[in-house]
Every structure is written in C-alpha cells, then in structure tokens.
Structure 1
Amino acid sequence: MTMSDTSAVSSSSAPPEAAMPGRSWSQWFVRTPGLLPAATFVAIVLVWEASCRLFEIPSFVLPAPSRILGGFDAVSTSRWFEHVWATLRVALIGYFLSIAISLPIAIILARSEILSRAVYPILVVVQSTPVVAIAPIIIVALGSGDTPRIVITCLITFFPLVVSTTTGLMATPPELIELSRSLRAPVIREITQIRLPFAIPYIFSALKISVTLAVIGAVVAEFVAADKGLGYFIQFSTSMFQVQQAWAGLIVLVLLSLVLFQIVAAVQRIWFPWSLPTERE
C-alpha cells in the first residue's frame, strides 16, 4: 500500500464531526430544547422593530414592539390580573366541563354503532354552526353572567375531544377485546383497562388542542357580552384607538394559551410518558 493510499484511508475513516465542525454546532443548536424557537422569535421581533422604524409604519396600523411595551406600562398590575383571571376562569371551567361531557359521549359512540350513526351527525352539525353567530342568542337565553361564556367555551372545545377520544377507543386491537369478552370481563374493565390506555395518546392530542380553543371560546364570549377579561380589554382598547394596549392584551392572551398548552403537555410527559411518540433521530 502506497503512502497516498494510506492517507486516503485515514481521511475516509475520520469522523464527520472532525471533518465538518460547523455541522456539529448546527445539530446542537437545532436539538437544544427551546433554543431554535427562541432564536426564531427574537429574529421576528427584530425584523418587526426594524421594519416599523425603516418604513415609518404608523403605530395605529402596526406598532413596533418597543411601543407595545409601553402599552403594558399604561395598565396597572391589578387591572391586568383582573382581566387575566376573568378569561382564565371561564376558559378552565368550560374546558373541564367539555372533558366531563365528551368522555362519556365518546365511550357511548365507541360502544354502540347505532348510537354512533345517530349522534355523530348531530355533533357535526353543532360543530359546523359558527359559535360567533349563535353567541348573542346564548347570551339572550342565559343572561350576561359567566354561564353563557362557559357554554360558548364548551361548545368550541368539546368536539375535538369527542372525535379524538372515540378514534382512540376504536383503535384498540380487536383481539384484546375478544380476549376480554371470552374471559367474561366486565364492560367497565374493558373500557378502563383496555380501551382507555390505547386512547391516551389520542386524548392528550385533543386536550392540547382544546385547551387553546378554550381560551378562544372565552375571548369570543367576552367580545359579545362582558365587562372584564382579555377579550373585553382588547375590544375596548381598540375602540378607544389605544392600539398599543390592544397588542399588549393580545400578547398576554397568547402567553396564556402557551402556558396552558405546556401544562397539559407536562401532565402527559410526567404521568403518561409511555404515550409520547418516539423521538425522531
């Protein structure tokens, strides 16, 4: 073997990281949890700020991030807490109420084909009806308290829960169902010990979606009739041409949705880690 052949073999056996150090850094940057989204967010804010200053965009059209920070200072902390709590309370009550309603419905749909054919089209009709259109009717029927806002939130959130939970319950391997029935296992054990474990990934996928929809439902209800809440605050600020405060309220609303989403994800990660998808290479 000549010297050139030896150098060729040694160069080909060198690890890729040594040959391309920039690639290992880029892989570390991409795989570090939260680093890539944070960098993307910072880049968007910088481009937003620079565009507003460079093109002199009026603040009532699109305020710069620096002006939006002034909108936070214009409102007292106690007032922010009052609006956030009003929206959070309605969103959580409607969210948990939709869970309590959707799980029994999903079990019924998975157990009975006749009821599934009879009830599922009705659920599709209810979901297809724009909640914004029927919100004033609900307000007139139920009054102006928290009850109509909770009902509106529940209407928006329960459909994904019903569909995903039913799909998960039906995804149970049929041989396990046949085995449990051959052993004369009670129906409650079939549901709790066989069907529900297989449905957990589907249920948490719906829970993550529905918790953000709950915040949307609470805001929609506040647009129609409310005297407090982030939706009311945004609508009031916009009507008074306080655009910076409206954007500040929108940012708080987005942060609230993200926090709730992460809480649901943490519950799945801590108590149901086996239901998480396998990590991609």
Structure 2
Amino acid sequence: MAVESTQGAPAGVAERDRASTAERALGFIHQAWRPVALLALLFVAWWVITATGLVQPYLVASPGDTFSTIAEKSDYFWEHTFITLWETVAGFLLAIVVGVVTAVIMVYSTTLERTLYPLLLFAQVIPKIAVAPLFVVWLGFGTEPKILVALLMAFFPIVISMVTGLKSIDPEMLQLSATMGASPMKTFYKIRLPASLPHLFSGLKIGATLAVTGAVVGEFVGANEGLGYVIQQANGNFDTPTLFAGLVIMSVLGILLFALVEVLEYFVLPWHASRRIDAATTSM
C-alpha cells in the first residue's frame, strides 16, 4: 500500500504541473492577442495612408515596397541584423549583471548609495549620442563601443528597479528573519531577492528596448555594419524602402526582446499579485 501511494503521488503532481503549465500558456496567449491586433491595425493604417497617396512615396515607403526590399536583400539585412542583435544582447546581459550587483551594493551600503546615486543620475541625463563618439575614439570602430552604449542605455532602469525591489521588503519580515537566526546571505536569497523580482522584471522590459536603441545609436556614430549603418546609408541615399525596412527590423528586435522578458516573467512569477489580477480580469 505504501508503495502504491508513493508511486501515485508523483503522477498526480505531474498531472497538476502539466495542467498548470498549460493554463499559464493559454493565459499568456489570451493576453497576447490584443497587442497583436493593435499591430495589425497599425499595419492596415500604414497601408491605407500609402495606398491612397496621402503622402509621397519618397517620404513614407509602402508596406509592399518595404517588405519586398527585405525579401530582395534578405542576406544583406540578415548580416547587419545579426551584428545589431549581438551588440544588443551583449550590452543587455552586461547591464543585468552590472545593474543587479550595483543595486545590491547600494542597498547594503548607505554610504555607497549616497555616493553612487547622484553619479548614476548624472550619467543617465547625458545624451548617449553625445558620448558615443568618445567611445569610438577610445575603443575603435568595432562592436565594443556599441555594446557599451547599449549597456549604458539599459543599465539605469535595471539598477533603479532592483534597488526599489530590494527596499520594498516589510521591515518586520527582516526583523523576523534576524530573530529566527537567518544569516544575511540566507535572508537575501529567501526574502529580499524573491520580493525584488517583480520590480527587476519591470526594469528588464524597459532595458531590453533601450538596449536596441543604444546599439543602433552607437552604429549611427561610427560603424560600417549593423542596422544603424543600414539606416544611415539609406537616409543618405534617399532610399526610403531600405530605411523603413531597417526601422521595421529594428522595431521587431525590440519587440522580440521585450516579449522574451515578458514570457520569462510570466513563467517565473506566476505567484505575483499582478498575474492573479490579470487572470481575474480576463476571466470576467
């Protein structure tokens, strides 16, 4: 009898886990159709504006010309898109590591927080397009300056969100943890870090889109490859379809990175209050 109950329990747990995963996936799809529908409406509006001749073709390329240009120059666009994607992902991942570490240091040291916070704010308000040429002078025309600009663009929202999350813990919870004899490290992993994840994911979603912008801004300043280079060359040659094709691909990269973070948040934080509210709202 004991063996049967032991064998039966994992099967039941597995079935519940599969059902829970399926429910979360269906819930995500149910939420995703609205932005997809909005994008479809924007696409139709774009097509109507260009098809009716409200604007000249040299000002706004039609969807047909834009996507036919992407199809005709697929190898060209793929080569430059891969460069921008690499710069974006590298800068974004570095921003996550540096941002999280900086946030933890600032939360656990009031002196460092008061020292670093004004510097972070000062660095954020400086236009990145203004300092990007310095990075090119210092690091050359390779991918390093673009990765650095992407890192700087994504860093600020990540570190601020993480600091906010780490500080949002109820002080009574921390006192209880100390009373129970938990070490600072255990308190961090068991209490502070899980409670900060919703705030962190909010910063990650903002940082993901800014990282794309940062990589392209770096390519505007000095590059011979990447989507920023493609857009700049097309603008100089008055090649509107190629320019719009580069903008579309750049936008898709940002949307995909945002969606990737959103999906990760959806499955990592199913317990968060925002998810329960979404479920209750969509079921009504």
TM-score normalized by the length of structure 1: 0.84
Determine the structure 2 residue equivalent to 1:212.
209
Determine which of 54, 63, 68 is the counterpart of 2:52: 54
> Deviation per CA, 1:94-144, whole angstroms, max 9, x where unpaired?
111111111111111111222211111111001111110011011101111
Pairwise CA distance, 1:261: 1.0
Contact 1:268 1:275 in 2 (8 A): no
Pairwise CA distance, 1:237: 1.2
> Deviation per CA, 1:233-281, whole angstroms, max 9, x where unpaired?
1111111111101101111111111111111111111233223612152
Determine the structure 2 residue equivalent to 1:162.
159
Query: Cα gap change, 1:35/1:148 in structure 2, threshold over 3 Å: closer, same or farther?
Result: closer
Tell which deviates more after alignment, 251-260 or 109-118. 109-118
Pairwise CA distance, 1:56: 4.9
Kindly provide the amino acid, as one letter, of the partner of residue 233 in structure 1.
V
Distance 2:197 2:160 in 1: 13
Determine which of 155, 173, 180 is the counterpart of 2:177: 180
Query: Cα gap change, 1:235/1:113 in structure 2, threshold over 3 Å: closer, same or farther?
Result: same
Distance 2:83 2:265 in 1: 27
Structure 2: any 5+ residue segments left out of the alignment? Answer: 1-28
Kindly provide the amino acid, as one letter, of the partner of residue 238 in structure 2.
F
Distance 2:247 2:187 in 1: 45
Give the match's secondary structure for 1:226. Answer: coil
Query: Cα gap change, 1:56/1:118 in structure 2, threshold over 3 Å: closer, same or farther?
Result: closer
TM-score normalized by the length of structure 2: 0.83
Contact 1:233 1:249 in 2 (8 A): yes
Query: Cα gap change, 1:265/1:40 in structure 2, threshold over 3 Å: closer, same or farther?
Result: closer
Distance 1:146 1:265 in 2: 27
Pairwise CA distance, 1:217: 0.6
> Deviation per CA, 1:174-219, whole angstroms, max 9, x where unpaired?
0111122223322211211110111010001111111111111100
Determine the structure 2 residue equivalent to 1:260.
257
Contact 1:201 1:276 in 2 (8 A): no
Determine the structure 1 residue equivalent to 2:136.
139
Distance 2:204 2:259 in 1: 11
Asked whether 1:237 is paired with 2:234, we answer: yes
Kindly provide the amino acid, as one letter, of the partner of residue 49 in structure 2.
S
Determine the structure 2 residue equivalent to 1:68.
66
Kindly provide the amino acid, as one letter, of the partner of residue 184 in structure 2.
V
Pairwise CA distance, 1:156: 0.8
Kindly provide the amino acid, as one letter, of the partner of residue 74 in structure 1.
E
Contact 1:157 1:214 in 2 (8 A): yes
Contact 1:57 1:63 in 2 (8 A): no
Determine which of 27, 36, 39 is the counterpart of 1:38: 36
> Deviation per CA, 1:59-115, whole angstroms, max 9, x where unpaired?
11112222222321331x222221111001011111111111111111111112222
Distance 2:116 2:100 in 1: 14
Larger of the two Rg values belongs to structure: 1
Distance 1:84 1:55 in 2: 31
> Deviation per CA, 1:150-195, whole angstroms, max 9, x where unpaired?
1111111111111000000000110111122223322211211110
Contact 1:74 1:245 in 2 (8 A): no
Distance 1:276 1:131 in 2: 36
Query: Cα gap change, 1:276/1:149 in structure 2, threshold over 3 Å: closer, same or farther?
Result: farther
Tell which deviates more after alignment, 58-67 or 122-131. 58-67
Kindly provide the amino acid, as one letter, of the partner of residue 145 in structure 2.
P
State the number of aligned residues: 250
Kindly provide the amino acid, as one letter, of the partner of residue 66 in structure 1.
G
Distance 1:114 1:67 in 2: 57
RMSD across aligned positions (CA) = 1.7
